[in-house]
Chains A and B, each alone.
Chain A
Amino acid sequence: MSDGIGARVKRKEDKRFITGKGKYTDDIRMENQAYAAFVRSPHAHAKVKGIDASAAEAMEGVVAVLTGAQLTGDGIGNLICGWAINSKDGSPMNMGPWSALATDRVRYVGDAVAVVIADSQKLARNAAEAVVVDYEELPAVAHADRALAKGAPQVHDNAPGNLIYDWGIGDDAATQAALKGSAHVTELHVTNNRLSPNPMEPRSAVATYDEAEDHYTLYTTSQNPHVARLVLSAFYNVAPEHKLRVIAPDVGGGFGSKIYIYPEEITCLWASMKTKRSVKWTSDRTEAFMTDAHGRDHITTAKMGFDKDGKITGFHVDTVANFGAYMSLFSSAVPTYLYATLLSGQYDIHNIYCNVRAVYTNTVPVDAYRGAGRPEACYLIERMMETAAREMGMDPAELRRRNFIQSFPHQTPVIMNYDSGDFPGNLDKALKAADIAGFPARKAEAAKRGKLRGIGYSCYIEACGIAPSAAVGSLGAGVGLWESAEVRVNPVGTIEILTGSHSHGQGHETTFAQIVSDRFGVPIDNVSIVHGDTDKVQMGMGTYGSRSGAVGMSAIVKAMDKVEAKVKKIAAHVLEASEDDIVIEGGEVKVAGTDRKMAWHEVGLAAYTAHNLPAGMEPGLKEGAFYDPVNFTFPAGAYIAEVEVDPDTGVTKIVQFTAADDFGTIINPNIVEGQVHGGVAQGIGQAILEQVVYDEGGQLLTGSYMDYAMPRADDVPFYTIEHNTTVCPNNPLGIKGCGEAGAIGAPPAVINAITDAIGTNDLQMPATPARVWAALNAARAPMAAE
Chain B
Amino acid sequence: MATISMTVNGKAVKRAVPDNTLLSEFLREHLRLTGTHVGCDTSQCGACVVHVDGRAIKSCTALAASLDGATVTTIEGLANGDLHPMQKAFNDNHGLQCGFCTPGMIMSGVDMVARYKAEGRELTEAAIRHELEGNICRCTGYHNIVKSIQQAAAEM
Contact = CB atoms under 8 A, between A and B. Distances in A.
A546 interface: no
B37 interface: yes
A286 B79 CA distance: 34
B106 to A, nearest CB: 6
Interface in A58-80: none
Q: Which of A17, A26, A742 has the most CB of B within 10 A?
A: A17
Contacts of B53: none
Nearest to A705: B44
A20 B33 contact: yes
A718 interface: yes
Interface in B120-134: 125-126, 128-130, 132-133
Given A18-B102, A20-B103, A705-B44, A716 B94 contact: no
A576 interface: no
Contact of B35 (A15, A19, A252, A719): A19
Contact of A250 (B99, B129, B135): B99
Contacts of B91: 10-11, 14-15, 18
Contacts of B126: 714
A781 B125 CA distance: 39
Nearest to A676: B141
A706 B87 CA distance: 29
A712 B136 contact: yes
Contacts of A676: 141
A507 B140 CA distance: 12
Interface in A179-233: 198-202
A678 interface: yes
A719 B144 CA distance: 10
Nearest to A198: B138
Contacts of A742: 141
A294 to B, nearest CB: 15
Contacts of A437: none
Interface string A222-266: 000000000000000000000000000011110100000000000
Nearest to A506: B97
Interface residues of B, number: 56
A713 B133 CA distance: 7
A40 interface: no
Contact of A719 (B34, B41, B125, B143): B143
A674 interface: yes
B135 to A, nearest CB: 7
B136 A710 contact: yes
Contacts, number: 182
Interface string A448-469: 0000000000000000000000
Contacts of A22: 35, 99-100
A18 B90 contact: yes
A505 B87 contact: no
A705 B74 contact: no
Contact of A284 (B41, B44, B128): B41
Given A712-B132, A713-B128, A678 B97 contact: yes
Interface string B76-120: 101100010001001110101111111100100000000000000
B98 A505 contact: yes
Given A199-B138, A505-B97, A710-B138, A677 B76 contact: no
Interface string A670-691: 1101101111111000000000
A695 interface: no
A388 to B, nearest CB: 30
Contact of A681 (B18, B28, B130, B142): B142
A135 interface: no
B64 interface: no
A714 B132 contact: yes
B98 A200 contact: yes
B41 A286 contact: yes
A673 B94 CA distance: 10
A411 interface: no
Contacts of B75: 18-20
A58 B136 CA distance: 41
B36 to A, nearest CB: 7
B63 to A, nearest CB: 13
A677 B144 contact: yes
Contacts of A771: none
B145 interface: yes
Interface in B27-81: 28, 32-42, 44-45, 47, 74-76, 78-79
Given A678-B141, A681-B142, A712 B35 contact: no
Given A18-B91, A20-B74, A705-B45, A680 B98 contact: no
Contacts of A608: none
B146 interface: yes
A536 interface: no
Interface in A278-296: 284-286
B56 to A, nearest CB: 15
B40 A251 contact: no
A713 B45 contact: no
B139 interface: yes
Nearest to B132: A713
B91 to A, nearest CB: 4
B97 A20 contact: no
Given A18-B102, A200-B136, A718 B97 contact: no
A716 B142 contact: yes
A261 to B, nearest CB: 20
Contact of B41 (A16, A122, A704, A714): A704
A253 B102 CA distance: 12
A220 to B, nearest CB: 15
Contact of A202 (B39, B129, B135): B39
Contacts of B47: 200
A671 B47 CA distance: 22
A211 to B, nearest CB: 27
A10 B99 contact: no
B129 A14 contact: no
Interface of B: 18, 20, 28, 32-42, 44-45, 47, 74-76, 78-79, 83, 87, 90-92, 94, 96-103, 106, 125-126, 128-130, 132-133, 135-146
13 contacts: A11-B96, A14-B99, A18-B103, A20-B36, A122-B18, A198-B138, A200-B138, A506-B97, A680-B141, A704-B44, A710-B44, A712-B142, A713-B137
Interface of A: 10-11, 13-24, 26-27, 29, 122, 198-202, 250-253, 255, 284-286, 504-507, 670-671, 673-674, 676-682, 704-706, 710-714, 716, 718-719, 742
